[in-house]
Structure 1
Amino acid sequence: MAAEPVTDRWIDALPQAVLLTQGGQVTRVNAAASRLWGLSQDRAQGRPVLEVVRRHTLETLLERGGELELEVSGRTLRCQATRDGSSGALIVEDVTDHRRREAELREATAVLSHEFRTPVAALRGVLEALEYDMPRDLSQNFVRQGLQETERLARLVEDLAVGFRPTRARTLPLSEAFARAERLLSAELTARRAAVTFGQDFLVRADPDKLLQVLLNLVENALKYGPAGQPLQVLTAERGTWIEVSVLDGGPPIADTESLFGAHTRGPSATGQGSGMGLYIVRSIVHGWGGQAWAERQGSQNAFCFTLPGVGGL
C-alpha cells in the first residue's frame, strides 16, 4: 500500500477548509472542507465547484479571487480565494468566536471609556477648588474627595485591563485576599455603617490581583444594593477540588440573575450612574481560571458566588 503523500497529510491537518480547483472543477478538498460541505475527497473530486460549495457567492469569489465574510447558519466564515491561470484555491475559516470576542471587547471598552468621564470631571473640580485659599479642614475634605476619585479611576483601569494582563497565579490563603479587600473597602464600610465577616480560610491557586478585583466588585455590589447598615457575609466552602466563595446581602429577590452577568447590565434596583460591567468582569476573570460565577437566592438573601481552584486545606 502506497504511503500517503506528505502534502495530503499537512493539508488535512489544517483547521481551515481548503478547496483546490482546476478549470472550474474540484481537484482536492481537505478534511476540514469535507466536514464543512459534507462531501468526501472522492465524492468532491471532479465535480463543478458550485455542486460542492452550493453558493454562487463562493463560485464567483473563486473566479475573481479576493476575500469576503459570510454568515451561514449563525456562523461567520472568512473566505479567501486565489487564482493562477486555470487553477484556483478557496480557503474558508470559521471566525465566529473571534468576531464575538472582538464585539465584546469593543462593547466593554466603549462602556468603560464612558465611565471615565465622571471621576475625571470630579478630579478637575477638586483641583480647581484647591487653587483657592480655604480653611484647612475644607481643603482636606477636597483632598479626600480627590483621592476617592483617583481610587475609582484606578479600579476602572483595572477593569479595562481584564483579559490583557498575563495571569500571575500563585498559591495563597483566602484570608490574604479577604484582608486586602477589607482594608480597601474600610472607608466605604464606615460610610455605610456596615461590617463584613469572612468564612473559613482555604489555600487557593489564583492571581491575587484578579481575585481581589472579584471580591471588591461583589462586596461593593452587596453594599450598594443590600439594606444600609446590615452586616455582610462572605462564606466559603469546599466543593471537591474547588473552593466556593459566596457574598451574601439582604437585598430584594432578583428575578433574572443570569442576565446580570452580561456586559453593561444593571439590576432593577440600581440607581445613579454605573457601567453595569462589574459582574461581567467578575465572570470573565473567574472563567479565566476555569471556575464558575453565578447568583442565586439563599433564604432571605441574595448570594453572588464563584469558584476557584483549591490546593488542600490549611
Structure 2
Amino acid sequence: MSADLMGAAEPAPTNDAWVDALPQAVLLSEAGLVTRVNAAAARLWGVPQDRALGRPVLEIVRRHTLEALLDRGGELELEAGGRTLRCTATRHANSSALIVEDITEHRRREAELREATAVLSHEFRTPVAALRGVLEALEYDMPADLAQNFVKQGLQETERLARLVEDLAVGFRPTRARTLPLSEAFTRAERLLSTELGTRQAQLSFGQDHLVRADPDKLLQVLLNLIENALKYGPPAQPIRVQTSLRGTWVEVRVLDQGAPIPDTDSLFRAHTRGQQATGQGSGMGLYIVRSIVHGWGGQAWAERQEDGNAFCFTLPGVAGLG
C-alpha cells in the first residue's frame, strides 16, 4: 500500500511512565513554569502532579535556593524536615530540570564510618606507643633477662593489636570476656603509663582487689583512658586514686583526680566532645569509648564531683571469691 493511500504517518506516542518509577524527585520547567513533576516530586512537595502543571516553580518547591538553582544549574545539598537532600539542576535555553535525591542514609553511614575510624585511631594509639617504647629500649645493650622482659611486653602488645584488627569484623563490643582479678588490669595499666606518671611526677594507687568478668583488653582500655585523662587535665604531681567497691553483684571502679570542677559531666561522654578546660590536640572520643565499652558488658559509666576532685566511675560484673 502506498504512502498516499496511508496518509501522513503519525508520530509514535511518548511514554515517560518510567519517570514516575524513579526514587528521585524530578521537576521539569519551561520559562519558570512547571511542565512535569514525577510521583516522587509530588510526594516530596505535597502537590498533586496535575495541579503542579503550569504553576511557577517557586510555588511548588517553596525555596528560593531551589528556584535559583534551576535558573543557573549546578548542585547543592540542603536539610529539609530532618532529611539531607542532594539537588542537581541542568538548564538548556528556557528549559530546566531539577533532580532531588534523598541521601540521608548515605550521610548517616558516612558519619558512622568517621566515628568508627576515630574509635579505632584512639584504641590503636596505646599499643602502638607501647611497641615504640619497647623497640627504642631494645636498641640499647642490656642484660638478657631485661631484654627478654621487653620482648615479652612487645609480644603482648602485638597480640592486643591483632585482637583489635579482628574486632573490625565484629564491632567494638567485648567478645572475649573471662574471669580475672582487677589487679591484673591495674598492673598492666601502671606499666604502660609508667613514663607518663614519671613525667608528671604523679602517684598512682589502687584500691582493693576484686574478681570481675570482662574482656581484659577492653577493661585495660577503659582504665587507660580514665587515668590518662586524670594525668592530662589534673594538676601535676597530683595523687591519682583508683578506688573499688562492691555494689551487689557489680564492682564499682572510681578514678579520682584533683582537677577543676567540671560543669557538665554527662556531655563529656558524647562523641567528639571535650571539656572546657581541654587544651592541645584531642579527638574527644576517649570517654565516649569508655561508655560504649562499659555499656557493652551491661555496666554504667558516669562522672561526678567528689570531695576536692572529680570521680570518673564505671561498673562491671563481679565474681564472688576475692576481696
TM tier, shorter chain?
0.5 to 0.7
Distance 1:182 1:115, change over 3 A: closer
Write out aligned runs for 1:240-259 (5 A).
240-259=248-267
1:170 CA drift (Å): 0.3
- Which residue, out of 105, 108, 114, partners 1:107? 114
Distance 1:245 1:74, change over 3 A: farther
Q: Normalised by the size of structure 2, how large is the TM-score?
A: 0.53
Tell me the amino acid that sits aligned with residue 207 of structure 1: D
Question: Are 1:115 and 1:274, in contact at CA under 8 Å, matched by a contact in 2?
Answer: no
1:166 CA drift (Å): 5.8
- Which residue, out of 224, 231, 237, partners 1:223? 231
Query: Within 2, Cα distance between the matches of 1:199 and 1:101?
Result: 42
Query: Within 2, Cα distance between the matches of 1:286 and 1:269?
Result: 25
Write out aligned runs for 1:187-198 (5 A).
187-198=195-206
Matched, 1:298 2:303: no
Deviations 1:185-225 (A, max 9, x none): 11111111111100111110000000000000000000001
Query: Within 2, Cα distance between the matches of 1:277 and 1:247?
Result: 18
Unaligned runs of 5+ in 1: 1-54, 58-72, 76-95, 123-129, 131-135, 137-150
Matched, 1:272 2:277: no
Question: 2:151 corresponds to which residue?
Answer: none
- What's the secondary structure of 1:310's corresponding residue? strand
- Which residue, out of 226, 231, 243, partners 1:235? 243
Unaligned runs of 5+ in 2: 1-41, 45-80, 84-103, 130-135, 142-156
Tell me the amino acid that sits aligned with residue 243 of structure 1: V
Tell me the amino acid that sits aligned with residue 287 of structure 1: H
Distance 1:172 1:102, change over 3 A: farther
Tell me the amino acid that sits aligned with residue 255 of structure 1: P
The structure with the largest alpha-carbon Rg is: 2
Tell me the amino acid that sits aligned with residue 294 of structure 1: W
Distance 1:158 1:271, change over 3 A: farther
Q: Among all aligned residue pairs of Structure 1 and Structure 2, give the percentage whose two residues are the same amino acid.
A: 68
Deviations 1:139-182 (A, max 9, x none): xxxxxxxxxxxx9xx98x95995934761000001011101101
Aligned residues between the structures:
204
Query: Within 2, Cα distance between the matches of 1:166 and 1:115?
Result: 16
Question: Are 1:197 and 1:234, in contact at CA under 8 Å, matched by a contact in 2?
Answer: yes
Write out aligned runs for 1:143-158 (5 A).
none
1:103 CA drift (Å): 6.1
CA RMSD of aligned residues (A): 4.3
Distance 1:226 1:202, change over 3 A: same
Write out aligned runs for 1:152-231 (5 A).
163-164=171-172, 167-231=175-239
Distance 1:104 1:245, change over 3 A: farther
Question: Are 2:209 and 2:244, in contact at CA under 8 Å, matched by a contact in 1?
Answer: yes
Write out aligned runs for 1:24-173 (5 A).
102=109, 105-109=112-116, 111=118, 163-164=171-172, 167-173=175-181
Deviations 1:1-56 (A, max 9, x none): xxxxxxxxxxxxxxxxxxxxxxxxxxxxxxxxxxxxxxxxxxxxxxxxxxxxxx96
Question: 2:35 corresponds to which residue?
Answer: none
Question: Are 1:244 and 1:308, in contact at CA under 8 Å, matched by a contact in 2?
Answer: yes
Query: Within 1, Cα distance between the matches of 2:317 and 2:311?
Result: 20
Question: 2:318 corresponds to which residue?
Answer: 310
